[in-house]
Amino acid sequence: MPTSPTTRPHPTEPGIRLAHAGDIEIAYETFGIEEDVPLVLIMGLATQMLGWPDEFCDLLARAGHYVIRFDNRDIGLSGHLDDAQPVDLAALTSGDTSSAAYTLSDMAGDTLGLLDALGLTSAHIVGASLGGMIAQTIAIEHPARVRSLTSIMSTTGDPAVGQPTAAAMGAVLAPRPADREGAIERVVENYRVIGSPGFVFDEEALRERAARSYDRSNDPAGVLRQLAAVPASGDRTAELRSVHVPTLVLHGVDDPLAALSGGIATAAAIPSAELITFGGMGHDLPRELWTRVVEAIATLTRRAETALPSSHVG
């Protein structure tokens, strides 16, 4: 693994801070009151922390959480492994993961490094898509750091479940234009394929987020390194059976990128996990569902807090 990750220069963004997580610098932002219940949001593949909209984070904060969102390695304003060997996409799709620069365990370590920098011994962990896989990995490998686990539109790593449609995979693997307008248009067209068919397609908000993301950092090679971490980490099904923290699994019935079977398998593997599905939801978080999603997460965190030993608090 490269020893000289770089941090992207970034424009002035109020509230953005940097934390050292081993060799990686993690860019993060917080919402709410520091004394409230800590909750970490981990976003998915190719998506910056902006994938957790400000208003969504504010809803979680108003529900009593100290909300922490951040850019994963190789995305946004966090460290990028620019010196890593290029990902061999053809080999990756045939099962050869030797070009992967890191695994989900390494990405889990970034989250723990951020918790350490914030002086938090544990937190409620919420992850979406790739972020859900990272959150699962934290719960498997570092259970004492996890107060509760919420896995959204994710899967177990078992290739028999959660597989994308051909159209969805084609959208994800489509070339990433280097120019700003092309990059924005690609994001919009991508979400026309993988987004939620049962809800309003908010093109204006999507274009705004895509433009802001491009201006923060555009790194197609970093996205491929994130992608390679998924098959390089294997199937978590057996290990998920060891997870005993309160767990919630949220999934869209109409998700074309991580099929509903992935969410069902995740909930089945984790003892006492609760599965909530949303009709019409694809591989995104439609605004119309924010209140229901926040209520489900807050219900879980309140239940988990009542069962916590004092050693988890702090």
- d(CA 44, CA 31) in angstroms, rounded, equals 20
CA 102/CA 73 separation, integer angstroms = 10
Q: Which residue has the tokens 């109020």?
A: 14
Please write the tens of the pLDDT for every residue from 104-137: 999 999 999 999 999 999 999 999 999 999 999 9
Q: Does residue 169 register a pLDDT over 50?
A: yes
Domains by residue range for the chain, with CATH: 16-306 (3.40.50.1820)
Contact 12, 21 (CB under 8 A): no
Count of beta carbons in the 10 Å neighbourhood of residue 305:
16
Average pLDDT over residues 271-289: 98
AA letter at 205? A
In tens, the pLDDT along 54-67 reads 999 999 999 999 99
**pLDDT for res 14:** 79
What's residue 312's pLDDT?
53
pLDDT in tens, 182-203: 999 999 999 999 999 999 999 9
Q: Is the predicted pLDDT of residue 11 greater than 80, yes or no?
A: no
Please tell me whether residue 126 adopts helix, strand or coil conformation.
Answer: strand
Q: Which of 11-25, 82-96, 143-157, 253-267 bottoms out in mean pLDDT, i.e. has the lowest?
A: 11-25
* pLDDT on residue 4: 61
What is the pLDDT at residue 310?
54
β-strand pairing of 65-70 with 79-80: unpaired
